[in-house]
Structure 1
Amino acid sequence: MTDAPTLHFGVFEVAAPQVGGTFSWAHPRSRSADFLDPQHWIHIARVLEDSGFDFLFFAGGYGYPLVDGDLPEIAATKGINFSAIDPDYLIPVLAQHTDTLGFVVTLSTGLEHPAQLARRLASLDHLTSGRVGWNIVTGASQNAVADVFGQDAIVPHDTRYAMAAEYVELAARLWEHGWDDDARVVDRESGVYARRDGVRPVVFEGEHYRSRGYFGAPPSPQRTPVLFQAGTSPAGRAFAARNSECVFVQATTPARTAAAVADIRALAAERGRDPRGMKLMAGLTVFVGETEEEARRYEAEFDAMQTDEIVASLYAGNTGIDLLALDPDKTLHQVLGQGSVGEMGTSNIDRFLGENAPTVREILDQLKGRGTRGFRLVGDGTQVADGIERLAAETDLDGFLIEPVFEPADLEDFGRLVMPILRERGRLREGAPGNTLRARLTEQPGNDRLGDAHPVLAAD
């Protein structure tokens, strides 16, 4: 046993051929191309719950890679961030086959009115008995999304975050202020369903969103789903410090990640929040085997499947920049100030700038096999567990999102070879049926609500 803090674990998934903008679905170990089959996800959810994971996280969106305004051939032929379904509809199915596992869904703040999203998430929180989180995004592959939704131009980066702040505030006020706790009576003898004086209108007048009316969805176990957010641009960090309960920090090097973690915690403290109350996590790709040799073989087989074209397709979808069209011996500074560069994927651009900026060739080499993935660990169960504890100590992270490579086999391997070691070392806290996702992540049974002291509900 150890006095070291509990670590939290999720699994980063997409309802698509593969994770992370890398190519792996065609490998004999992988079954990720079965993403259209509910049984594929039921199996994964059961594996995660039995292993002690906190939640299954679904990324999602309407975007896809664009190069010169068109879908790259390799995005379609290899399934690189293209072809997907909405994961929202899987969650009620998976909840019926699990008791403790949480579910986090990614929904954008810019494509529908907050009231629509609020009712959808309230419904999911009811159907899962309070095991839902919302990953708040301002969009991804915004150039493609603008085309799909018939928009004339990409909304500027910082404007999207300003809109998102209002969006989240309005949604939270609908969840938290629309009903008194005891307003829903359901008294058959008197025939009273709800106390009229316990249901009140929510009036919100913002620069980007407004609402005046009643929220029809009864309060769910958490009322507000656990608020997740990813993004380490300056605007993203400020947004996270104000709104998020769980933040996904971009994993580059341990030192840079530690700096981002410290900055977000400091910004949260400036907002009057407990900086240790937020859970900060990063992505982690793991190749684990019965032996280190087996794990290295899995890693080598995965790496051999990756190409420059795959990297470039992914990076274009994230940032709007076609790396293969640039001078390979120059840095990304060659495209700054051109068109919409800098209005999407800013974190993935900024990381390659500065005095010691890598060349485009070096960027391609760095991202090959990594894509949008985070840290990487390779070894047997003990080596991986040691690496996880070392990364947590070096970065001050509270946990990790495992990014599958050959699912579900590698998730089964992680659950069988790594999680028992972490559990023996006292780094895992088991969930219990009836606990909400918020109670599990905060490690406080009964702590189900966001709370009026949260900045999103407290008047500035």
Structure 2
Amino acid sequence: MKTIHLGVFEVAGPQVGGTLSWPHPRSSSARFHELDHWVHVAKVLDAGGFDFLFFADGYGYPSVAGDLPETAARGGINFPSLDPAVLIPALARETERLGFVVTSSTGLDHPVQTARRFASLDHFTGGRVGWNIVTGASQNTVAELFGHRTMQAHDARYDQADEYLDLALALWQDSWEDDAVRADASAGVYADRDKLHRVEFEGEHFRSSGYFTVDPSPQRVPVLFQAGTSGRGREYAARNAECVFVQGTTVAQTAANVADIRARAAAWGRDPDSIRILVGLTVTVRPTRAEAEQLRAEFEALQTDETVATLYAGNTGIDLLALDPTRDLTQLLDGADAGPVGQMGQSNIDRFLPKDGSKAPTVRQILDDLKGKGTRGFQVWGSPADVADDLERLMDEVDLDGFLIEPIFDPADLEDVATLLVPELRRRGRMPAAPIAAPTLRERLIGSEDYFTRRAQAAESVPQGS
């Protein structure tokens, strides 16, 4: 019986998941500008035995017909947002065990900048940081913001991301020997020069020559997360990731994606069970099922077609409200120029284009399916026993290692999970009886296996079917 790992999916913005919830009296997420709001969230999670707080991040925003829609500004739909990485040292100081994972794209900063930032965060958190590696989000608006004339193609971004990580790993692992730091005040010697090594990297996309300026942090390398379930995204995860965040659609489709990631990892010479795979989960848990259903109904009453369409356009470049509601997404192929379609938000396009011979949903059905769901994963509600039953079933049927809780009413939903659901999961033996006191996030999530030595060995072989 697998232990359930729990993280929490957040953004430094008005609400999570591209759905509408901040105006509800149960929510205080409009206080996302305030440090005290995040300190409270972090303390709840730390005391509740959660493994980590995960921040999604990016520079983009929803765009319809090339501009920010009124719906996004009025509803706070994936707009505005702050930089969550600057929160992490303060939150680490206020907590004892909780890990912190933050998203950073491989499409903007140079790998040297990213390596330096995460090594610094690993020092400041005492080894409790992870990097969620993405190739970008809302790439059309990001390209415009950064003055890029074109948006890089989907699969090419992953090719670049492989090399990006290879260089970052070289900086973290190869520049300083383990005992290079002496910090000997009496001798006046901070570092042993003979144990510092120049990194020389010459790739197709990136070059670097010199010394990494950050001495080894507690983990040396942040825990490597990856989110993305396109075919190329799964291949990237199989090669590189220690933890994978998959999108929860149907149980069958999600299970197939999980099985594919583990099989691809085995082809890279990795132990497929060593990868921790988690899925997004929206939980409404109250003492009784009736109370949970009432809260869920209040949330659903806030959602509209316009909210759904704004979110989907920001993620995929597709304006659902501009399409024929009686036809499926293949109508996009009618035009000579599909624009950004297929080059961004690929997972949220593929999920509505079945490849098993089943009938694709119409645009109207997509709107209905996404209403109240947005980019959220699985949705469960009920009493603590009801929700625990659902989590155990998903763990076993999908072959998961845990969940990223995506709150609706923040932070009240997280308080309910910590005080109502976690004790039930502990009673069932699905979570440790007390919070794990592992010194680093990697040890807490994965254990002490030498993943990076094995990764270097596996990289020397070519995966089957690649």
Which category of TM-score, normalised to the shorter sequence, fits these structures? Answer: over 0.9
Deviation for aligned residue 1:455: 4.4
Deviation for aligned residue 1:249: 1.0
| 1:440 counterpart (441, 444, 448) | 444
In 2, Cα distance between the equivalents of 1:262 and 1:298?
34
- 1:422 is aligned to 2:445: no
- 1:234 is aligned to 2:257: no
- 1:291 is aligned to 2:294: no
- 1:339 is aligned to 2:344: no
| Counterpart residue type for residue 200 of structure 1 | H
Deviation for aligned residue 1:459: 4.0
Q: Give 1:33-432 correspondences, 5 Å limit.
A: 33-336=30-333, 338-354=338-354, 355=357, 356-429=359-432, 430-432=434-436
In 2, Cα distance between the equivalents of 1:455 and 1:9?
29
Q: Is the 8 A contact 1:438 1:448 kept in 2?
A: no
What residue ranges of structure 1 are gaps of 5+ in the alignment?
none
CA shift digits 1:386-413 (9 cap, x unpaired): 1100111110011000000001111001
In 1, Cα distance between the equivalents of 2:192 and 2:438?
27
- What secondary structure does 2:454 align onto? coil
In 2, Cα distance between the equivalents of 1:76 and 1:205?
43
Q: Is the 8 A contact 2:316 2:346 kept in 1?
A: yes
TM-score normalised by L of structure 2:
0.96
CA shift digits 1:53-105 (9 cap, x unpaired): 00000000000011000000000000000101000010000001101000000
Deviation for aligned residue 1:358: 0.2
| Counterpart residue type for residue 148 of structure 1 | L
- What secondary structure does 2:58 align onto? coil
Q: Is the 8 A contact 1:99 1:434 kept in 2?
A: no
Find the counterpart in structure 2 of residue 454 from structure 1. Answer: 455
In 2, Cα distance between the equivalents of 1:103 and 1:459?
31
Q: Is the 8 A contact 2:316 2:340 kept in 1?
A: no
Of 301-310 and 433-442, more deviation after overlay is shown by 433-442
CA separation of 1:205/1:431 partners in 2, compared to 1, >3 Å: closer, same or farther?
farther
Deviation for aligned residue 1:432: 4.2
Of 289-298 and 351-360, more deviation after overlay is shown by 351-360
Deviation for aligned residue 1:340: 2.1
| Counterpart residue type for residue 443 of structure 2 | A
In 2, Cα distance between the equivalents of 1:345 and 1:386?
32
In 1, Cα distance between the equivalents of 2:315 and 2:457?
28
CA shift digits 1:172-221 (9 cap, x unpaired): 11001110000000111111111111110111111001111100100000
CA separation of 1:204/1:457 partners in 2, compared to 1, >3 Å: closer, same or farther?
farther
In 2, Cα distance between the equivalents of 1:414 and 1:30?
15
CA shift digits 1:32-66 (9 cap, x unpaired): 00000000000000100111100000000000011
Q: Is the 8 A contact 1:169 1:456 kept in 2?
A: no
Q: Is the 8 A contact 1:136 1:228 kept in 2?
A: yes
CA shift digits 1:113-132 (9 cap, x unpaired): 00001000000000000000
In 1, Cα distance between the equivalents of 2:53 and 2:105?
18
- What secondary structure does 2:66 align onto? coil
Deviation for aligned residue 1:424: 1.5
CA shift digits 1:232-278 (9 cap, x unpaired): 10100000000000001110011111100000000000000000000
| Counterpart residue type for residue 48 of structure 2 | S
CA shift digits 1:293-341 (9 cap, x unpaired): 1000000000000000000000000000000000000100011361221
Q: Is the 8 A contact 1:24 1:302 kept in 2?
A: yes
- What secondary structure does 1:211 align onto? strand
CA separation of 1:275/1:357 partners in 2, compared to 1, >3 Å: closer, same or farther?
same
CA separation of 1:459/1:185 partners in 2, compared to 1, >3 Å: closer, same or farther?
farther
| Counterpart residue type for residue 79 of structure 2 | F
In 2, Cα distance between the equivalents of 1:19 and 1:345?
17
| Counterpart residue type for residue 346 of structure 2 | T
In 1, Cα distance between the equivalents of 2:82 and 2:429?
38
Of 447-456 and 218-227, more deviation after overlay is shown by 447-456
Number of residue pairs the alignment of both structures matches? 454
- What secondary structure does 1:418 align onto? helix
